Structure formats: C-alpha cells, structure tokens
Chains A and B, each alone.
Chain A
Amino acid sequence: AQSVTQPDIHITVSEGASLELRCNYSYGATPYLFWYVQSPGQGLQLLLKYFSGDTLVQGIKGFEAEFKRSQSSFNLRKPSVHWSDAAEYFCAVGMDSSYKLIFGSGTRLLVRP
C-alpha cells in the first residue's frame, strides 16, 4: 500500500541555520509529491510540488525540495530559517488514477531565536 513517512516528529533549529525535513514514500510508480505547511490555527498551504522533470523543485518562502527516486525521498530544505517558519510541515504523495493524497504524520519545526 502507498504510504508516506516523515521520520522526525519535532525538529529544532536556530534562526539563520539551514533546515532539512525528511520525507520517504512508498509507491510503485512515479509519484506526485507535495509539501504543505500549517501555521498554528490555520489550514494547510502548498509550499511546492513535483510531478516530473527537474528533480530539484523551488517553492514559496525560499523552500526547495529534491526528488530522489533511488531513495524514494523528497526532502524539504531551506538555507536559512526565519522565526516565521515555525510551523508543522506535511509531505504528501498523489498517485495515478486518483485525486486523493496520502499525507505523512507531519514534522513540527521549532525555531530558536
């Protein structure tokens, strides 16, 4: 069955430091991959998406993610974290023949001043 794993429940980084959030998926074909962010008390906002082509994808708010087929991974990165990036981040996978998405359990990012 298709699944998404975000192995880190919480991550704490200092403001200005670099960030990498991990995401691994299980799906037999080429997946459609998404990263969403959820600020406290709000819904999910799309950060970026990968469908095909260049495996390094740029998103909003300075985020990028790299699709690595050999590792079944789609890790999210940011070179310099801002305090406003503190939020929960969700990786999701979509599949052919379905409009549904499968979400990971999320990673909560805390930012130290």
Chain B
Amino acid sequence: DVKVTQSSRYLVKRTGEKVFLECVQDMDHENMFWYRQDPGLGLRLIYFSYDVKMKEKGDIPEGYSVSREKKERFSLILESASTNQTSMYLCASSKGIQGIWNQPQHFGDGTRLSIL
C-alpha cells in the first residue's frame, strides 16, 4: 500500500512565524500535492510538484512556498504565518506517467494547523 506520511497531526504556531509542513511518500511517486481543506470549500490545491525541484502553483499559492529536494519528500512553507492560514493541510502523491493522466492520488492523514 502507498504510504503518505505527514510529520505532524496537530501544530500550533504564532502569527509571523515561518512554518514548515513535511510530507513523505514511500512509493516512488513522481507527483506530490499540497491541499488546504476548509469546511464548505472542499480541497483547494496550493502547490504541486511533478519532479524533484519542479513545482507548479495551484489555485491558492499566496502566502505559501514549497520545496522538493528529494523525490519522496515535499515540504510546504508558510513564510509568515497568519491567522487566515489556520486550516487542515493534506498532502497527496500520485504516479506521473507521461500521457496517462488518470492516476488516483493517495493522501496522508492531514495536519491540523492553528495560527494564534
């Protein structure tokens, strides 16, 4: 089974702090994704990466950055945390086979981040 592991289940940080959320997958997937989940809004894509050191903005990248130095690890960075970034953050991964777009995504259990 694919295992996507997020480093923290719960995290509390202060406004203005730089926050790192870490995600590791063990299935050699090319694609990795960071989503934000808020009630009534579903999942919104923040960033995704289709290869090491490659990234693409999603729908709501403002206030976030990402890092992918190794294939198995994808980090989400809140440069200067604000209270409106309090949310559930979900990481996912999928196989990246050129021309085959219908790969399902596999999710971690999420990190519930509170910014005070």
Contact = CB atoms under 8 A, between A and B. Distances in A.
Interface string A95-113: 1111111011110000000
A94 B33 CA distance: 14
Contacts of B75: none
Given A9-B40, A105-B42, A43 B107 contact: yes
A55 interface: no
B49 to A, nearest CB: 10
A43 B108 CA distance: 5
B53 to A, nearest CB: 17
A101 B101 contact: no
A49 to B, nearest CB: 6
Contacts of B109: 41-43
- Interface hub of A34, A94, A97 (most chain B Cβ within 10 A): A94
Contacts of B102: 32, 49, 51, 94
A99 B90 contact: no
B4 interface: yes
Number of chain B interface residues as a range? 20 to 34
Contact of A100 (B9, B58, B90): B58
Interface string B81-110: 000000000101010100001111111111
B41 interface: yes
A101 B102 CA distance: 9
Interface string A72-107: 000000000000000000100011111111011110
B43 interface: yes
Nearest to A39: B109
Interface of A: 6, 9, 32, 34, 36, 41-46, 49, 51, 90, 94-101, 103-106
Interface of B: 4, 9, 31, 33, 35, 40-45, 48, 50, 58, 90, 92, 94, 96, 101-110
19 contacts: A6-B42, A9-B40, A32-B101, A41-B9, A43-B4, A43-B92, A43-B108, A43-B110, A49-B104, A51-B102, A94-B102, A96-B101, A99-B50, A101-B105, A103-B35, A103-B43, A105-B40, A105-B41, A106-B42
